Amino acid sequence: MKRMLKTAILSSALMMGVGIAGPAMAQDDSIYIPNLAYRTGPFAATGTPLMNGQRDYITLLNERDGGLNGVKLDYDECETGYNTEKGVECYEKTKARAVVTQPWSTGITLQVLPKSNVDKIPILAPGYGFSPMADGKVFQWAYNPPSSYWDGASMILKNISDGNLDSLKDKKIAFLHLDHPFGKEPIPLLEVLAEKHGFELVPIPVGLTEMQNQSAQWLQIRRERPDFVVMWGWGAMNAGAITEAVKTKYPMDQFVGVWWSGHDGDLKLVGEQGKGYRSISWSVPNSEAPLMADIKKYVVDAGKSQINQSEGEFDSVFYQRGLMISVILVEGIKAAQEEFDVRTPSPEQLRWGLENINLDEARLKELGADGMLVPFSTSCSNHTGHGGGWMLQWDGAKFVKASDLLTPDRAEIEPLELEKAKEYAEANAPWPVNEECKM
């Protein structure tokens, strides 16, 4: 009996030991990368290929290289359904081990932003979030490379005006947007530019329950007869808008969307009828790139991917953009590892890494992703990089590159960015700023 008791105590102690040591060892040997994903709900059509891409690049590094500099990357998704409250719950749930937060919605980003100063975990929001986050001195913990929404709006206007915004004078631009923090994001800049260059801006909001039935919005477009329609849509809103545009017979070459409104799946619904529709993008799919060959070999063909091959997801804009988002994150982690000579950088060390990303053309080529992402670099004062973007155009079956590299008009954007960043800091005082950054 005594012996049995001893054995029981010993085995319990051992089990407890393993239980305690297990996670600790796992923490030492891997870098935990949570992703506040949305594979369900009304925005799942946008989210699924993006998350697949993010996941697959991490899988590639683990499978091909044994991780990053010998350290396994522990990618983990917490499902938010693109819901802000659930997103905040996911942030709280994952923050203890997280080296980074990827909030995946402007609404969640805005909620998590003040928490980042306290928790000291970097927020990485590539191509989304709050545009003034570009001001790294004010938003020390937030990063939105390689282009912000305001950069995107500026590039679209430059493109439709052939580089001369004054030529838009007396023209009418309808701004069709999701009635959500994301959709409203570029309005402050567009209002400033409308006043400066003399064009009329007609904001047309689309509510969550109207995403699939935008007949009222497109009746307004029919009545207003705008010269251009600029769309800031997400998820099901894009498909709803594009099908209504076809129905209204709005000229597709006068219809331009932000990068989240350029999803193959949405355009496939209208196919040939959507020909001419454009979307600004900071990534371009290139299935022939060496990186894609590796993804195919080590991830897709090895059965480790969740992509839907029958629907051509591998070649899609969003899947390959998801890959690029993980490329950006991994470059930040790698920079931190090398700078601090550590295997598993802390969130604070990663913050330095994200401020010192240098994804120039040479580095992209080295990664096998030449031409798939706009080249950019970040610094302590510039958390966006402002790499610019290309115009993609739907040719009836797929998106193709339809412009040279476009760049935002920083002279017009930067003063507004600094002003709004300052306003934000004052409204949320006391707000710590990075005094050490002298750039």
Partner 1 sequence: MEFLNDVLVQPFADMAAAPDFLLQVLWEGLVGGVLYALIALGFVLIYKSSRIFNFAQGIMVVFAALTLVGLYEKGVPALLALPLTLVVMLILAMTIERVVLRPLVNQPDIILFMATIGITLFLIGFGELIFGGENKVMITEQLFIPTGSIVFEPFGGFVSIEEKDLTAVIGAMVLVAALLVFLNKSKIGRAIRALGDDHQAALSVGISLSTIWVIVWFIAGVIALATGIVWGARAGVSFALEVIAFKALPVLMLGGLESVMGAIIGGLAIGILEKVFEIYWGQPLLGGNTEAWFAYMLALLVLLFRPQGLFGEKIIERV
SS3 state at 118: helix
* CB neighbour list of residue 111: distance below 8 Å, 6 or more residues apart: 84, 87, 88, 91
Write down the least CB distance from residue 95 to partner 1, Å: 25
- For position 222 contacting partner 1 by CB under 8 A, the verdict is yes
Q: Which stretch, 184-192, 235-243, 405-413, 417-425, contacts partner 1 (CB under 8 A)?
A: 235-243
**8 A C-beta contact, residue 122 and residue 142:** yes
* CB neighbour list of residue 122: distance below 8 Å, 6 or more residues apart: 100, 101, 116, 141, 142, 143, 332, 347, 350, 351, 354
Out of 56, 151, 185, 266, the residue judged to bind partner 1 by CB under 8 A: 266
- Which is closer to partner 1, CB of 132 or CB of 233? 233
Out of 29, 76, 200, 210, the residue judged to bind partner 1 by CB under 8 A: 210
Q: Which stretch, 152-160, 212-220, 280-288, 292-300, contacts partner 1 (CB under 8 A)?
A: 212-220
- For position 40 contacting partner 1 by CB under 8 A, the verdict is yes
- For position 216 contacting partner 1 by CB under 8 A, the verdict is yes
Out of 99, 168, 190, 236, the residue judged to bind partner 1 by CB under 8 A: 236
Write down the least CB distance from residue 195 to partner 1, Å: 18
x/- mask, partner 1, residues 301-340, rule CB under 8 A, reads -------x-xx-x---------------------------
Out of 247, 297, 360, 400, the residue judged to bind partner 1 by CB under 8 A: 247
Q: Which stretch, 138-146, 206-214, 412-420, 431-439, contacts partner 1 (CB under 8 A)?
A: 206-214
Element (H, E) at 293: helix 290-294
Among candidate residues 47, 25, 50, the one with its CA nearest the CA of residue 38: 47
Phi/psi for 44 (5° steps) reads -60, -35
**8 A C-beta contact, residue 416 and residue 150:** yes
Residue at token pair 């030449």: 370
Residue at token pair 């709004």: 420
**8 A C-beta contact, residue 305 and residue 39:** no
Report how far residue 235's alpha carbon sits from residue 318's, in angstroms, rounded to the nearest whole number.
12
Q: Which stretch, 42-50, 112-120, 159-167, 406-414, contacts partner 1 (CB under 8 A)?
A: 42-50
Write down the least CB distance from residue 229 to partner 1, Å: 14
- For position 41 contacting partner 1 by CB under 8 A, the verdict is yes
Write down the least CB distance from residue 351 to partner 1, Å: 32
Out of 42, 87, 136, 152, the residue judged to bind partner 1 by CB under 8 A: 42
- For position 73 contacting partner 1 by CB under 8 A, the verdict is no
Among candidate residues 147, 103, 150, 148, the one with its CA nearest the CA of residue 122: 103
| Residues in a beta bridge with 228 | 173
- For position 251 contacting partner 1 by CB under 8 A, the verdict is no
- What is the sign of the dihedral through the CA atoms of 408, 412, 415 and 417? negative
Write down the least CB distance from residue 312 to partner 1, Å: 11
- Which is closer to partner 1, CB of 73 or CB of 242? 242
For 163, the token pair is 């580089």
* CB neighbour list of residue 432: distance below 8 Å, 6 or more residues apart: 117, 140
Report how far residue 121's alpha carbon sits from residue 94's, in angstroms, rounded to the nearest whole number.
11
- For position 53 contacting partner 1 by CB under 8 A, the verdict is no
* Binding-site size, partner 1 (CB under 8 A): 46
- For position 67 contacting partner 1 by CB under 8 A, the verdict is no
| Residues in a beta bridge with 229 | 174, 255
Report how far residue 279's alpha carbon sits from residue 241's, in angstroms, rounded to the nearest whole number.
13
- For position 89 contacting partner 1 by CB under 8 A, the verdict is no
Q: Which stretch, 45-53, 92-100, 113-121, 279-287, contacts partner 1 (CB under 8 A)?
A: 45-53
Write down the least CB distance from residue 130 to partner 1, Å: 22
Torsion of CA 243, 183, 378, 359, to 10 degrees: -10
Element (H, E) at 332: helix 317-340
- Which is closer to partner 1, CB of 10 or CB of 216? 216
Write down the least CB distance from residue 342 to partner 1, Å: 37
Among candidate residues 317, 333, 320, the one with its CA nearest the CA of residue 400: 317
Out of 31, 36, 47, 77, the residue judged to bind partner 1 by CB under 8 A: 47
**Given the rule CB under 8 A, which residues bind partner 1?**
39-45, 47-49, 179, 203-213, 215-217, 219-220, 222-223, 235-236, 239-240, 243-244, 247-249, 265-266, 268-269, 308, 310-311, 313
